[in-house]
Chains A and B, each alone.
Chain A
Amino acid sequence: MWIRDFFLSRRHRLFIFIILLLLFSLVLMSLRAKQKKGVEFFDALLMEICSPLQKAATLTIQTVQGTFRKYVFLVNLESENRMLKQKIAELQEENNRTKEMKLAMERLKQLHQFREKNSLSMIGAEVIGQDPSSWFKSVTIDKGERDGVKKGMAVISAAGVIGQILKTASHYATVLLITDYNSAIDSIVQRTRAKAIVEGKGANRCQLKYLLRTEEVVVGDAVVTSGLAGNFPKGLMVGEIKKVDKKGHGVFQYAELVPSVDLTRLEEVFVVMEPIPPPPPPKEEKIKKGKKIKK
């Protein structure tokens, strides 16, 4: 009887409602933390509803901004400046590729192999929204599953790596930027070929993890993708080292890098459509596995 009274009382109903709502949000959080996914259908549906509005809002502000830049402030200078910046970015990318080619030649790799590795199929996408929170770093793009975009695909620009696809809806997708805490990319220091993992550091900075203390790395060294781990093609510019700290002890040294792309001013990006095949496992492992199966 008292249980019925408890549930019927208005005050208790409110209390139960609060508890239920908080519990539900905790269950959702636990689901996401464990499985790294939410309610996929509901997420995709909400994204489909909200993203067109985001796109319209971005278009409005870009139009207003564009009008001001072109016709009010500076008549031709803005477009010329943009063209020159684009040219510089292209030249930098070209320069980076040339360096990569030279190093590849030195290691007796053929030119056509390098070209094959870099001639990936990509689709262009427009950035339609930024992360609503300052704790996390992501952007929303106007290409989704219908365009062939899948979770985990690499997102790049002419200047270098941007991030990877985190969530997808039919026509939209969320890109996790390389500066986010959750981002990790297998990379190498271009000059020394030292291997490391580039991890997001929150602000417009990344850090190099697991970089051996014995490796001679200096400020200004370029860091490029290693092509391992299956997501990113080899040799794409990730950033430039800005700080190196060989701490007093330990196996690894600490290095900080600035991404080559200005991730706060993204407008257009490319999604790499071809999955990069993972490197084959060493022969010994294969043999061992074969033996295990036979047993």
Chain B
Amino acid sequence: MRRFVPLLLAGIILLILQTTWLSFFPIPRIRPDLLLIFTLYLAFFFRPFLGGILAFFMGYLMDLFSGNTLGVYTFSRTLVFFATQFLKERFYLEGFFFQFLFAFIFGILEGGLLFVLIHGLEPVSFENLYLSLFTFLLPQSFCTGLAAPFLFFLFKKAASLLFHRPEQGIKARGRA
């Protein structure tokens, strides 16, 4: 609980930044997805139970504050979290290039999943969605990738200040 509340608050603050300050970006539709970076960070450095519930909740908040009536983010963020949890045993989240690439690829993969879900659940024309892939998904994932190393650094710093054992997921590796 001591870990859950600060992380939850951090998530809410990031959501608010994403819906307010980032919308003042020069290109309105292309902005980094702070909550995706946060979900990836949670997956790498926190345990599956705590991080899983947080990722689920972050997705739920995304759905609540968006014009999305389907609830696709609750599912996609939870899935992204567990996919990263699965992969974290094989990678080290170190270095600018790897962190950029990791966030970029997950941005694209989540976009692909959303594309399939939206197309499958609602009668949205394929042409409109297909255009969106190029006009904003690629540049937005690129932006997310660029912001990821900086935010990972900030999250790590904040976690080391807040928690006694900040990288719980890494330390528990192999024992879970």
Contact = CB atoms under 8 A, between A and B. Distances in A.
Contacts of A47: 64-65
B56 A181 contact: no
Taking residues whose C-beta sits less than 8 angstroms from the other chain, chain A's interface range is 35 or more
SS of B interface (majority): helix
A22 interface: yes
Contact of B21 (A61, A131, A180, A181): A61
Contacts, number: 155
B24 A61 contact: yes
A203 B132 contact: yes
A132 B12 contact: no
B52 interface: yes
Interface residues of B, number: 57
Interface string A263-276: 01100000000000
Interface string B55-94: 0100111111111111111110011001000000000000
Contacts of A129: 16, 19-20, 23, 65
A131 B82 CA distance: 25
A136 B79 contact: no
A60 B125 CA distance: 39
Interface stretch (A29-37, A78-86, A154-162): A29-37
B129 A202 contact: yes
Contacts of B78: 21-22, 25
B48 A17 contact: yes
B48 A18 contact: yes
Interface centre among A43, A57, A128, A132 (most CB of B within 10 A): A132
Nearest to B24: A61
Contacts of B7: none
A265 B23 CA distance: 9
A182 B12 CA distance: 26
Interface centre among A17, A32, A36 (most CB of B within 10 A): A32
A61 B20 contact: yes
Given A134-B136, A140-B19, A177 B67 contact: yes
A136 B33 CA distance: 14
Interface of A: 10-11, 14, 17-18, 21-22, 24-26, 28-29, 31-33, 36, 38, 43, 46-47, 49-50, 53-54, 57-58, 61, 65, 128-138, 140, 166-167, 174, 176-177, 180-182, 201-203, 264-265
